[in-house]
A = this chain, B = another copy of it.
Amino acid sequence: MAVHTRLALEPFDPARELAAFLDGRDQDGAVVSFTGVMRGQGRDGQTLERLHLDWYPGMTEASIAKIAEDTAARFSVSDVRVVHRCGDIQPGEPIVFAAAAAPHRRAAFEACDYLMDKLKTEAAFWKREDSASGSQWIDPSGKDRADAARWSKL
């Protein structure tokens, strides 16, 4: 089993990540990936100029690695890959690529879903939305928290 995680300080290409994740794979029939793209609109509908993801060098990488390893241990998956941007992110740029490979597709879907729920609530980032009307630090949404809470019932 391989767990690969990376914090990206510069824009990255999700398609390249998928290509790398698929490379040489012939025993795990199912690969599910999530790509999160920076939206041009904030939660209140305002036009966003930029998303800033502040990070704590070392601790942020460790938090992502831990979430990926927990996911791999919890589901019947062969491999997990996470690439997460930090710093200033422009609309349209990828924020996160998360993927899970498994012999069966249900495990791959559940692992990727879980991975994202955890990354959205527990990864060591501080998120700020910058728009023409100012900057605003963002807490995890109630929706994100509710999504993450689904797994504690299993």
Which A positions have Cβ atoms within 8 angstroms of B? 13-16, 18-19, 22, 24-41, 91-92, 94, 103-106, 108-109, 112-113, 116, 120, 143, 147
Contact = CB atoms under 8 A, between A and B. Distances in A.
B34 A30 contact: yes
Contact of A106 (B35, B94, B147): B147
A33 B116 CA distance: 13
Q: How many copies does the complex hold?
A: 2
Chain A interface, DSSP helix/strand/loop, else mixed: mixed
A33 B32 contact: yes
B26 A19 contact: no
B19 A92 contact: no
Contacts of A120: 105
A40 B38 CA distance: 38
A-B pairs with lowest CB-CB distance, top 9? A15-B19, A26-B92, A31-B35, A15-B15, A29-B39, A15-B18, A26-B40, A33-B33, A26-B91
Contacts of A116: 105, 109
B22 A38 contact: no
A147 B108 CA distance: 14
Given A32-B112, A33-B35, A112-B32, A94 B26 contact: no
Contact of A27 (B24, B29, B30, B39): B39
